[in-house]
Structure 1
Amino acid sequence: MDEKVNKIEAYDAIVIGTGVSGGWAAKELCESGLKTLVLERGRAIEHIKDYHTAHTDVWDFKYRGTPDNNDVKQQYKQDRTGFVTAESTKHWFVNDLKHPYNETKRFDWIRGYHVGGRSLTWGRQALRMCDLDFKANKKEGIAVDWPIRYKDIEPWYTKVEKFIGVCGENLGIPQLPDGHFSPPMALNCVEELFKDQISKHYKNRYLTIGRFANLTGEAHHQGRSNCIYRNRCMRGCPLGGYFSSNASTLPAAERTGNMTLRPNAIVYEIVYDEDSQKAKGVKIIDAITKKKIEFSAKIIFCCASTVATTSILLQSRSKRFPNGLGNDSGELGHNLMDHHFRVGASGTTTNFSNKSYIGSRPASFHIPRFRNLNDKDSKQNFLRGYSFQGSASRTNWRRAIKELSFGKTLKEDLLKPGPWRIGMSGFGECLPYHENKMTLDYDKLDEWGLPTITFDAAFRENEIKMRKDMQQEAINMLTAAGFSNVKGFDEPCYPGHAIHEMGTARMGNDSSTSVLNKYNQIHAVSNVYVTDGACMTSSGNQNPSLTYMALTARAVNHAVKQLKENAL
């Protein structure tokens, strides 16, 4: 592959990827005065201009939002999830035929190849991990110990929250640390009822509105406006009402004059220099022309997403690193994690028949973890814990699909709001199993001649035990709160499905058992940083994007200081 590689200009820093961590790396590096090349393997996306379905109503789509058979064939693996191939959002996700991967066990790898990556389609729940999470591995003798604790990342959480804008409320509980929030979105009347009933029946459980990266309040965020409750976030927001790289961090990097953004640049190798024992640059394939180009830099930030970053590292083989860059421990590609969900309960109520709500709130309620909190009462027969996310709403006209009525009576009934329904789903922690892994298959290449990825991962006994408790406690809480028709559910869930894959290049104190140190540097290659989900040593139960951004900001701060001290 390297017979015809064109070498061109050098930069101070290179960032691989433009999602939540890549955008933050670009912003922080550029604002520190470094000339930074930002590489994105997918197409260019211009904020506002390229959000083609942002204003399209459901009745204006050809199939009322349902994907046609051809779409399903091209995204057949992602279509298994049931939520990424809608007519309004299918263009944000890759063609599974053009970008194949392999499965020893089912893995739902959901990808978006374009500037902004999954920052355009993420769920926006911005939750801090806590000391309970950072200490768990060491306490239980699972995997390896995190090389940091909550206090190390706390100020960086605050920095990120202030810049991206997170709405929510502080609860003053250790398992969900307080943060810097704009005014919370409001719970509706049924959710308020549920909140009050939980506080009456349980001493260690709390219901709050979720903490979302949607703008509220009076704080100024350049180029962005407050959320107006359209709840079309996955289509791209012309107002910049929610945080994305395209609306926020990449424009900030651009304003410095220090960023060069190059889309359609598929990174396939980080080049290691035997003499300096550092990386000297990266090699890319232009996705359009297929030409190979090498760029050089003093610092490299890997933010391509968990699986993509690890794939690049595994492909970066040399005499010093025959099994992948920085892979002295042999852990690169192992300890793959994702959250398990799609388990919980729902119910109904005949109360508040005269009440409804305005708009379509793009946020759910949140019930923080209440299991295994280092006290006797919360201890269970499984390790770690879970949280719940949910909402209450009035049902719509579809409730009448099975009805036998017709004519004027039916029409009048359908114009009225239906009964209230409430539901919630748990998000559970997955332990970091060495056996859960991704590998490269050099016998099955993609159209650019690169190896495809094979997944071999599954949820195991601890997660199965946890799911039973998740369902039962959802039923218990709704029942205790007085809801009717309470029914539990436990739907099939596979790794990748929650789109929180992480852990394949973990942080640790010991280079013999981990890939990265406490500053997200590769142990043996100090000028390469990995700050996307690959760095995670355990998963917690929280949505992880806020942690990726905080770790990225912290790592850039360290890298810039090291560079100024000529230590890189």
Structure 2
Amino acid sequence: MSNLNTKATAQNTYDAIVVGSGISGGWAAKELTEKGLKVLMLERGRNIEHIKDYTTAMKKPWEFEHRGWLTEEQKRTHPVQKRDYPYQEYNESFWVNDLECPYTEVKRFDWYRGFHVGGKSLMWGRQSYRLSDLNFEDNLKDGHGNDWPIRYKDIAPWYDYVEKFAGISGQAENYPHFPDGQFLPPMEMNCVEKSVKKRIEDHWKKARIMTIGRTANLTVEHGGRGKCQYRNLCSRGCPFGAYFSTQSSTLPAAVATGNLTVRPYSLVNQILYDKESQKAKGVLVIDSESMEHIEYYAKIIFVNGSTLGSTFLLLNSVSNEFPNGLGNGSGQLGHNLMDHHFRCGASGRAEGFDDKYTYGRRANGIYIPRYRNVGGDKRDYVRGFGYQGGAGRGNWHAEVAEMAFGGEFKDQMTVPGAWNMGLGGFGESLPYYENRVYIDKTKKDKWGQNVLAIDCEFKENEQKMRIDMMNDAAEMLEAAGMKDVKTFDNGSSPGMAIHEMGTARMGNDPKNSVLNKWNQMHEVKNVFVTDGSCMPSAACQNPSLTYMALTARAADYAVSELKKNNI
């Protein structure tokens, strides 16, 4: 017995475990460590160190072997990731190999994933908008989904808190249902965008507004981080720390406390439930390199593995007490999956600005907040949409390809093409119970786990909304003086917007929700879920800022309850 390690359990015991290291996981680690807890952060993929591991961030276009194009082998190993623009040679190491971690598409669902420290905080679009009481009350008013257990006043101070730390640039507008925040100086619109903004707001008398995007890109130095360099290469990782990510922001703060342990290559397979205490006692981890199974223990567990990753973990955490998944007495776990629908709108050509051009590559566009089904406006669908977009000049190559030679061709290369302006809608999808995920026990991944099956679709309400998303965009561009305005609908499948949410929703009633108003599981009091899976509705705004605020709020509550011995 001389080699018996009697301290084994103690060595694997922490005050808190955080599952996942993306936007919400990073915030959980920061808040819990700063409040004095010893925290273990578990990440299923590799470590990525700030600056050092952004290996393509400073490369010139000609330094890429395939000039940004994917190889046939990359296409073969990434059949899902290749479906849209995010996966490219410039950042290919940030995306998963789909063959290693398959899933079952009952209906098409594009699941974009990155297994590494920082998660999608390294690749996100950075648009950062608050939800308003319009969004928190919609479910109650129109009867879709369950009522949110919180209102804007509950989360407003936490929006303030996370915005001040993360650094959100934007313009205050004092526009109903579009709350202003704690903004750094806004980025500037270009000349065409300024003209379109004025004409839209004059035409609709401020019933519709256009503003510069509210983005987690720094316009001034902030918190020891450098400001945006207007390179628009954000998806490669930012060595200047100019956009919010786990690596640039929350992780350094957590590390500075001396209370954080980060363990990469740690795939959390189950949350372990203790029948006697009626709490979770820890987690079972599969070392994703060695395949070793290890248990870690903690007083509280924050689940931040991304919407579908977290829900898989909860569904996979079965016991005699929870045969259908941890904390799933309501039967709602895995249901009410949502994503935004987009890729439709309009574009047009601007005249009268041929003597103007832009400087730099602004990593941001414009935003038009929701105005449909607000106040007295009533449509043949519920909820609404916002627009993102922008104006820019095309290039010389718009001319006839066969004429592309000779002296005139060289002259033409020095002259930019026409100004164009586009508006693309982002629409809210409803929380349908039948849009769901469940564990497919007929298929396994590289690590021997069963895989997730996804059965989700957009329905009639979303299709009706898309008609307005196109026609309204055209109407606004025409009112703004654009020429040759054309509408487009390029189709949108769930998952494409990478804003998946729902499946472990918050609510006041344990009979129809998984989490309470503090993101705490109704049935397992020491487990908190604060990523996108907690959302009872989607709104039409980009959701990541809300995840940050909910996480900071939940961490504050969790530590308070822990100190009171309530969990």
Q: How does the TM-score come out when normalised to structure 1?
A: 0.97
2:157 aligns to what?
155
> What is the rounded CA distance, in whole Å, between the counterparts of 1:103 and 1:550 in structure 2?
32
- Letter matched to residue 155 of structure 1: P
> What is the rounded CA distance, in whole Å, between the counterparts of 1:291 and 1:338 in structure 2?
35
> What is the rounded CA distance, in whole Å, between the counterparts of 2:400 and 2:553 in structure 1?
53
Runs of 4+ in structure 1 deviating by more than 3 angstroms, as ranges, are: 400-403
Q: How does 1:155-174 map to 2 (within 5 A)?
A: 155-174=157-176
> What is the rounded CA distance, in whole Å, between the counterparts of 2:393 and 2:477 in structure 1?
17
> What is the rounded CA distance, in whole Å, between the counterparts of 2:503 and 2:446 in structure 1?
25
1:32-62: per-residue Cα shift (whole Å, max 9, x none)? 0000000000100000000011011222212
2:5 aligns to what?
none
Q: CA RMSD in A?
A: 1.0
1:104 aligns to what?
106
> What is the rounded CA distance, in whole Å, between the counterparts of 1:564 and 1:48 in structure 2?
38
> What is the rounded CA distance, in whole Å, between the counterparts of 1:538 and 1:410 in structure 2?
53
- Letter matched to residue 161 of structure 2: K
Query: Is contact 2:103-2:452 (8 Å) kept?
Result: yes
> What is the rounded CA distance, in whole Å, between the counterparts of 1:34 and 1:334 in structure 2?
33
1:30 aligned to 2:33?
yes
**Alignment CA distance shift 1:405-1:294 (3 Å):** closer
1:380-425: per-residue Cα shift (whole Å, max 9, x none)? 1110010000011111243246353530101101111111111111
Pick aligned residue for 1:178 from 160, 177, 180: 180
| Number of aligned residue pairs | 558
Unaligned runs of 5+ in 2: 1-7
2:3 aligns to what?
none
2:287 aligns to what?
286
- Letter matched to residue 11 of structure 1: Y
Q: How does 1:251-330 map to 2 (within 5 A)?
A: 251-330=252-331
1:510 aligns to what?
509
1:495 aligns to what?
494
1:382 aligns to what?
381
> What is the rounded CA distance, in whole Å, between the counterparts of 1:210 and 1:127 in structure 2?
9
Query: Is contact 1:72-1:85 (8 Å) kept?
Result: no
Query: Is contact 2:220-2:226 (8 Å) kept?
Result: no
Q: How does 1:114-129 map to 2 (within 5 A)?
A: 114-129=116-131
> What is the rounded CA distance, in whole Å, between the counterparts of 1:414 and 1:401 in structure 2?
13
1:460 aligns to what?
459
Q: How does the TM-score come out when normalised to structure 2?
A: 0.97
* Aligned partner of residue 120 in structure 2, secondary structure: helix
Pick aligned residue for 1:68 from 71, 76, 87: 71
Q: How does 1:103-502 map to 2 (within 5 A)?
A: 103-203=105-205, 204-217=207-220, 220-222=222-224, 224-373=225-374, 375-376=375-376, 378-400=377-399, 402=401, 404-502=403-501
* Aligned partner of residue 300 in structure 1, secondary structure: strand
Unaligned runs of 5+ in 1: 1-5
* Aligned partner of residue 169 in structure 2, secondary structure: coil
> What is the rounded CA distance, in whole Å, between the counterparts of 1:315 and 1:559 in structure 2?
24
What is the percent sequence identity of the aligned residues?
55
Query: Is contact 1:303-1:530 (8 Å) kept?
Result: yes
> What is the rounded CA distance, in whole Å, between the counterparts of 2:22 and 2:237 in structure 1?
14
Deviates more, 1:532-541 or 1:137-146: 137-146
- Letter matched to residue 45 of structure 1: I
**Alignment CA distance shift 1:42-1:398 (3 Å):** farther
> What is the rounded CA distance, in whole Å, between the counterparts of 2:550 and 2:378 in structure 1?
30
Query: Is contact 1:71-1:85 (8 Å) kept?
Result: no
> What is the rounded CA distance, in whole Å, between the counterparts of 2:282 and 2:396 in structure 1?
58
Deviates more, 1:349-358 or 1:460-469: 349-358
1:125-168: per-residue Cα shift (whole Å, max 9, x none)? 00000000000001111111000001000000000000000000
Query: Is contact 2:307-2:532 (8 Å) kept?
Result: yes
> What is the rounded CA distance, in whole Å, between the counterparts of 1:88 and 1:544 in structure 2?
26
* Aligned partner of residue 294 in structure 1, secondary structure: strand
> What is the rounded CA distance, in whole Å, between the counterparts of 1:406 and 1:280 in structure 2?
71
Query: Is contact 2:127-2:213 (8 Å) kept?
Result: yes
Query: Is contact 1:268-1:284 (8 Å) kept?
Result: yes
* Aligned partner of residue 248 in structure 1, secondary structure: helix
> What is the rounded CA distance, in whole Å, between the counterparts of 1:400 and 1:165 in structure 2?
42
> What is the rounded CA distance, in whole Å, between the counterparts of 1:230 and 1:438 in structure 2?
38
> What is the rounded CA distance, in whole Å, between the counterparts of 1:469 and 1:391 in structure 2?
19
> What is the rounded CA distance, in whole Å, between the counterparts of 2:79 and 2:470 in structure 1?
29
Query: Is contact 1:208-1:365 (8 Å) kept?
Result: yes
- Letter matched to residue 291 of structure 1: E
1:3 aligns to what?
none
> What is the rounded CA distance, in whole Å, between the counterparts of 2:508 and 2:270 in structure 1?
26
